């Protein structure tokens, strides 16, 4: 059973950088994509981006180049940094495994295991 656990500061000051780590247990990082998703209080879900075990990444353009996701397979961790944060970045941040499934002519990734989430509040 794959388990994910987010960790990092719960409070970040405006204009500073948010940094979170996700530690994976019960599975290998070398077989899947690994994603970050966030959810502002009382609102819906926003996909932030993913990292593949090779280190390749894809990000949501809405975050305007402020996001970096990296991976350390030896530590079984992947990380999120979000720079120049504002109050709009206050949210529950989830890490998740984005596992491949194949149906028909193509394969796609789906978020099948999630961490419990960590609340990050941007406040001075």
Partner 1 sequence: DIQLTQSPSFLSASVGDRVTITCRASQDISSYLAWYQQKPGRAPKLVIYGASTLQSGVPSRFSGSGSGTEFTLTISSLQPEDFATYYCQQLDSYPRTFGQGTKVDVK
Among 61, 64, 88, 124, binds partner 1 (CB under 8 A): 61
Residue 123 near residue 13, CB atoms below 8 Å: yes
Q: Considering the complex, what minimum distance in angstroms separates the CB of residue 122 from partner 1? A: 21
CA distance 51 to 68: 9
The Cα–Cα gap between 16 and 69 comes to 17
- For partner 1, the closer CB: 16 or 60: 60
Assess 112 for contact with partner 1 (CB under 8 A).
Answer: yes
Does position 45 interact with partner 1 (CB under 8 A)? The reply is yes
Q: What is the dihedral of CA 33, 39, 43, 47, to 10 degrees?
A: -30
Region near partner 1 per CB under 8 A, out of 20-28, 59-67, 69-77, 80-88 = 59-67
26 touches partner 1 (CB under 8 A):
no
Burial pattern 88-100, b for ≥16 Cβ within 10 A else e, equals: ebbbbbbbbbbbe
> What residue ranges bind partner 1 (CB under 8 A)?
44-47, 58-62, 94, 96, 101, 103-104, 106, 108-112, 114-117
């Amino acid at each position: 059973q794959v388990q994910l656990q987010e960790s990092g500061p719960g409070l970040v000051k405006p204009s500073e950088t948010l940094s979170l780590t996700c530690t994976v247990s019960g599975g290998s990082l070398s077989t899947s994509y690994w994603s970050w998703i966030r959810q502002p209080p009382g609102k819906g879900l926003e996909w932030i981006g993913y990292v593949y075990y090779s280190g390749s990444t894809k990000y949501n353009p809405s975050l305007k180049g402020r996001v970096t996701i990296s991976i350390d397979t030896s530590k079984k961790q992947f990380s999120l940094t979000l720079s120049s944060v504002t109050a709009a970045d206050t949210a529950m941040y989830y890490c998740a495994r984005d596992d491949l499934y194949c149906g028909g002519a193509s394969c796609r990734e789906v978020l099948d295991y999630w961490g419990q989430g960590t609340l990050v509040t941007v406040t001075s």
